[in-house]
Amino acid sequence: MAYLTDRKRARGLGSAKTGTAHFWAMKVSSVALLILIPFFVFTFGSALGGSYEEILAYYSRPFPAIVAALTILVGFKHFNDGVQVLIEDYVHGTSQKVAIILMTCLSYGAAAVGVFAIAKLAL
């Protein structure tokens, strides 16, 4: 008979062996967004209301383009992880797998379009 405490049993990361990795990924992306969103608001706010040529000149500088691209990438990854948790909680069976695949394709596709738009402005 093994005498294990609750902490020792939980050390194995649960029955699926992946729950804590997903939890920490959500926490890390939350902290990254906590830092990136104010940078994005301040960089985007100064460009807001400008003409196309002014926006093009502004986003051709590296810092605003990198902040915007990172915000888009981390934001859509965080969105994808959060929606995946919701789908896992409320949808079951084959429709769960289909919904997760569709949401992953949608979020990565939207992130790719956003980064492409920033790259097109920056280059």
Average pLDDT for consecutive 10-residue bins of the chain (123 residues)?
A: 64 60 91 96 90 92 95 97 93 96 97 96 90
pLDDT at 101: 97
Coil, strand, or helix at residue 23? Answer: helix
Residues 6+ apart with CB under 8 A from 60: 121, 122, 123
Helices and strands (H, E) in the chain, number of each type:
5, 0
Helix%, strand%, coil% for the chain, nearest 5: 80, 0, 20
Q: Shortest CA distance to 34 belongs to which of 84, 87, 70?
A: 70
Q: What are the extents of the domains in the chain?
A: 18-122
Name the residue type at position 119: A
47 burial type by CB count under 10 A (0-12 exposed, 13-18 middle, 19+ buried)? middle
pTM of the model: 0.82
pLDDT at 13: 52
Q: Which fold has domain 18-122?
A: 3 helical TM bundles of succinate and fumarate reductases (1.20.1300)
**Dihedral angle computed from the Cα positions of residues 90, 96, 102 and 103, in that order, rounded to the nearest 10 degrees:** 30
Angle between helices 52-59 and 94-122 (to 10 degrees): 100
pLDDT at 16: 58
Q: How far is CA 72 from CA 15, 20, 66, 69, 120, in A?
A: 33, 25, 10, 5, 15
pLDDT at 108: 97
